């Protein structure tokens, strides 16, 4: 990532990634896009700062978020784009709760943990019921 990267260049990179999920998406669907500030990179192999994208329509955001699994097998023209993650922008409380839920998932050897619309969900196996985590008490009840 060049130090003088413009928001337009960031938007073009975002569109390249998003087209792997939804080929019909255009710049008109994006309200705001920018990189978060990061520490200056000394090594070119270090991770670039994250990019925040806000969409005009909530349904566009939901479609992108629900289709993000398609990025696992996506190939990009830009060799600097290696792996892409699409995550929700959670509050600090929810991030902390998500980290706790992830540790619980690891400890109990559960398979699934995800967020959707700011809610944290856990599932032991593919056929088990989904458990929604809203508080730390919800985590303590899981055995």
Q: What is the mean pLDDT of residues 11-34?
A: 87
**Measured distance CA(90)–CA(30) in Å, rounded:** 19
Q: Percentage of the chain with pLDDT > 70?
A: 88
**Measured distance CA(90)–CA(138) in Å, rounded:** 18
> Domain boundaries in the chain?
7-73, 92-141
Q: Which among 11, 41, 42, 6 is positioned nearest to 25, based on CA atoms?
A: 11
Higher pLDDT, 132 or 38: 132
Position 18 confidence tier, pLDDT thresholds 50, 70, 90? confident
- What pLDDT is recorded for position 42? 55
Render pLDDT for 107-132 as a digit per residue (tens, 0 to 9).
Answer: 999 999 999 989 999 999 999 999 99
Render pLDDT for 45-70 as a digit per residue (tens, 0 to 9).
Answer: 666 788 889 999 988 888 888 888 88
């Amino acid at each position: 990532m060049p130090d003088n990267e413009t928001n337009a260049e960031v938007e073009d990179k975002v569109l390249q990634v998003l087209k792997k999920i939804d080929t019909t998406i255009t710049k008109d669907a994006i309200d705001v896009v920018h990189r978060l500030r990061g520490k200056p990179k000394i090594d070119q192999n270090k991770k670039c700062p994250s990019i925040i994208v806000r969409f005009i329509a909530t349904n566009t955001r939901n479609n992108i978020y629900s289709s993000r699994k398609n990025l696992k097998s996506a190939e990009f023209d830009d060799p600097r784009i290696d792996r892409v993650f699409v995550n929700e922008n959670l509050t600090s409380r929810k991030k902390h709760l998500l980290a706790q839920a992830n540790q619980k998932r690891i400890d109990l050897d559960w398979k699934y943990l995800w967020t959707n619309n700011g809610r944290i969900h856990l599932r032991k196996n593919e056929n088990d019921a989904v458990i929604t985590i809203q508080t730390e008490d919800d985590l303590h009840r899981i055995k």
